[in-house]
Chains A and B, each alone.
Chain A
Amino acid sequence: MKAIVLSVLVVLVAPVLQVAVVNGLSLPGGHPDIVLVAVIALAPHLRPGPEAGGLPERGAARGGAGAFLGFAAGLAADIAPPADHTIGRLALVMCLAGWVCARAAADGTAGRRAAVAAVVALGATLAGGVLAALLDGTPWGAALAPGAAAWTVGLAALVAAAFALRPRRRPFGRMPRSRGGSRGGSRDPYARGRRLA
């Protein structure tokens, strides 16, 4: 439930924040893409519903949820007013970014999550730049600006690490029903099972 609320917030607020606040700041080099950062940070924390049973299915469902979050946020960034590029460009890039992030970073330490986030952010920024140059005729120098990419990669790694390290009472979403009864019991080694799942 919490994950759904956060996802809706990301889709609604992140493009507005990007356009109204972040792009107006005078940062050296360029501006981070905070929609991409939000997708990368949140995608690993989306949980599949309790009906997804075994491990492979859970991973696939989580990947689907990440892809859907990325698609929705990317489409929002595509159509939020000042945007004047081909619709679907950011949706495609962020859909793939959310999917990869959810599959690769869901079960790992903070360091692994930060590394995955950085790699995915770099890949998505480069892919987005190539698409911008090919589809919309953006000059290559502007499409692949290193300053903006550096901001995005750094911020993505930082936020992903912070998300993984935050003091956690209980994970996002419902506990799986099979483990619901043992929540909080210290004898159950799977009490914080989402790290292992």
Chain B
Amino acid sequence: MRAAGRRAPALLALVSVALIAADTLTPLEPLRAFGSAVYGGLEDAASAGVRWASGERRLEELERENTRLRADLLAARRTVPSPAQADGYRVAPAHVIGFGRDGTITVDTGSDSGVDRDMTVFDGDGLVGRILRSGPGTATVQLATASGASIGARLEGSREVGLVTGVPERGLLRLSLLNPSAGVKPGDRVVTLGSRDMRPYVPDVPIGTVATVEPAPDALTRTALVRPFARFTALDLVTVVLGPQADGDAVDASAGRGATTARTAEGDADEDTDGDADADADAPKGGPKSGSKSGSKKAKAA
């Protein structure tokens, strides 16, 4: 005991250094998963208690509907059709339950709701960030202003392409346009460029407006400071984009999330020509060619 008392501080400091070294070499994901399982639940409970106490419980239905409408609005904003042919997004509403100091926040939806890493997060004002990792009931979001974030972006008017990075100490973003002679002026709106397969960023989410154009020290890129639409210090209800809402698989994944989603997806299935959707659409008709169980049952009943 006496020896342990003398050695303990040095030993613990050594363990800390070993942890730092290990996490630098190979990320200690199991430890983070453990942390998000234990502390995510506690944060969720604390936040839910605060919300219940302030009587916001009955707003949840409205919040859910609001989220869905917001996703529809976002999809409707898209002027250029994307290769994914999605006419809507599957989304999950989430509350912000924790603010970190590494340019990250915690939201109260996780892999149980289908949230996975590299999914877009936005709120009523504009882009918030992307999912960094997800635990069972919570997920960590990297904000657009984090020092490590970089987002493909374009000017909404001229469609010039660039890259948005965080300037964390000032709460601003820096836009670097690839075309050094591109015209950019304060007040221009900046939206996301969109990524392959919609991950991590879906296209045309508003990011912010150009605040000042920086004088170019070199002629390789054109840089400007962007004031984000989202108020990162006062985030509350956000929306996570789970994926495009197009085929039958998507409906299965989001089954039980409200009748509207299913109805929209049925409409899609009628128009679609791929195999799964056709099978779904044919099954209720009970065609003679289908050898499915439901078809034979219907035949017996008749």
Are A and B physically bound partners? yes
The complex places the Cα of A82 from the Cα of B13 at a distance, in Å, of: 24
Across-interface contacts of A44 in B (CB, < 8 A): none
The complex places the Cα of A17 from the Cα of B98 at a distance, in Å, of: 9
**Which of B4, B7, B20, B36 lies in contact with A81, CB distance below 8 A?**
B36
A19, A74, A136, A145 interface centre (most CB from chain B within 10 Å): A19
Instruction: Say yes or no: A19 contacts B18, CB within 8 Å.
Output: no
Binds A, one of B37-45, B114-122, B192-200, B263-271: B37-45
| Interface hits, B1-50 → A, CB 8 Å | 1-2, 4-9, 12-13, 15-20, 22-24, 28, 31-32, 34-36, 39-40, 42-43, 46-47, 50
**Which of B9, B16, B34, B147 lies in contact with A63, CB distance below 8 A?**
B9
A10 CB to nearest B CB, Å: 13
Instruction: Say yes or no: A82 contacts B99, CB within 8 Å.
Output: yes
Binds A, one of B70-78, B102-110, B209-217, B272-280: B102-110
Instruction: Say yes or no: A91 contacts B16, CB within 8 Å.
Output: yes
**Which of B20, B141, B142, B169 lies in contact with A86, CB distance below 8 A?**
B20
Instruction: Say yes or no: B35 contacts A81, CB within 8 Å.
Output: yes
B139 CB to nearest A CB, Å: 8
Of all chain A residues, the one with the shortest Cβ separation from B102 is A84
Instruction: Say yes or no: A136 contacts B98, CB within 8 Å.
Output: no
Q: Indicate if A197 sits at the interface (CB-CB under 8 A).
A: no
The complex places the Cα of A102 from the Cα of B135 at a distance, in Å, of: 36
The complex places the Cα of A19 from the Cα of B2 at a distance, in Å, of: 37
The complex places the Cα of A135 from the Cα of B102 at a distance, in Å, of: 12
Q: Indicate if A175 sits at the interface (CB-CB under 8 A).
A: no
B170 CB to nearest A CB, Å: 9
**Which of B9, B135, B148 lies in contact with A137, CB distance below 8 A?**
B148
Of all chain A residues, the one with the shortest Cβ separation from B6 is A60
Given A52-B5, A84-B132, A95-B13, answer yes or no on A20-B24 (Cβ-Cβ < 8 Å).
Answer: no
**Which of B22, B32, B169 lies in contact with A142, CB distance below 8 A?**
B169
Per-residue CB proximity of A69-81 to B under 8 Å, as 1/0? Answer: 0110011101111
B179 CB to nearest A CB, Å: 27
Q: Indicate if B153 sits at the interface (CB-CB under 8 A).
A: no
Binds B, one of A21-29, A116-124, A164-172, A185-193: A21-29
Q: Indicate if A104 sits at the interface (CB-CB under 8 A).
A: no
Interface Cβ pair total, 8 Å cutoff: 167
Q: Indicate if B101 sits at the interface (CB-CB under 8 A).
A: yes
Q: Indicate if A111 sits at the interface (CB-CB under 8 A).
A: no
Q: Indicate if B239 sits at the interface (CB-CB under 8 A).
A: no
Instruction: Say yes or no: B8 contacts A68, CB within 8 Å.
Output: yes
Instruction: Say yes or no: B39 contacts A84, CB within 8 Å.
Output: no
Q: Indicate if A157 sits at the interface (CB-CB under 8 A).
A: no
The complex places the Cα of A21 from the Cα of B233 at a distance, in Å, of: 13
Across-interface contacts of A141 in B (CB, < 8 A): 169
Of all chain B residues, the one with the shortest Cβ separation from A48 is B5
Instruction: Say yes or no: B20 contacts A23, CB within 8 Å.
Output: no
Instruction: Say yes or no: B13 contacts A96, CB within 8 Å.
Output: yes
A72 CB to nearest B CB, Å: 9
Across-interface contacts of A13 in B (CB, < 8 A): 42
The complex places the Cα of A74 from the Cα of B16 at a distance, in Å, of: 10
Q: Indicate if B138 sits at the interface (CB-CB under 8 A).
A: yes
The complex places the Cα of A144 from the Cα of B39 at a distance, in Å, of: 27
Instruction: Say yes or no: B140 contacts A82, CB within 8 Å.
Output: yes
Q: Which A residues lie at the B interface, using CB under 8 A?
A: 12-13, 15-17, 19-21, 23-24, 26, 31, 48-49, 51-52, 57, 60-65, 67-68, 70-71, 74-76, 78-89, 91-92, 95-96, 99, 135-139, 141-142, 145
Q: Which B residues lie at the A interface, using CB under 8 A?
A: 1-2, 4-9, 12-13, 15-20, 22-24, 28, 31-32, 34-36, 39-40, 42-43, 46-47, 50, 97-106, 132, 135, 138, 140-142, 146-148, 168-169, 233-234
14 A-B residue pairings within 8 Å (CB atoms): A16-B42, A16-B46, A17-B46, A52-B2, A64-B4, A64-B8, A79-B32, A83-B101, A86-B23, A87-B22, A88-B18, A92-B17, A136-B102, A138-B168
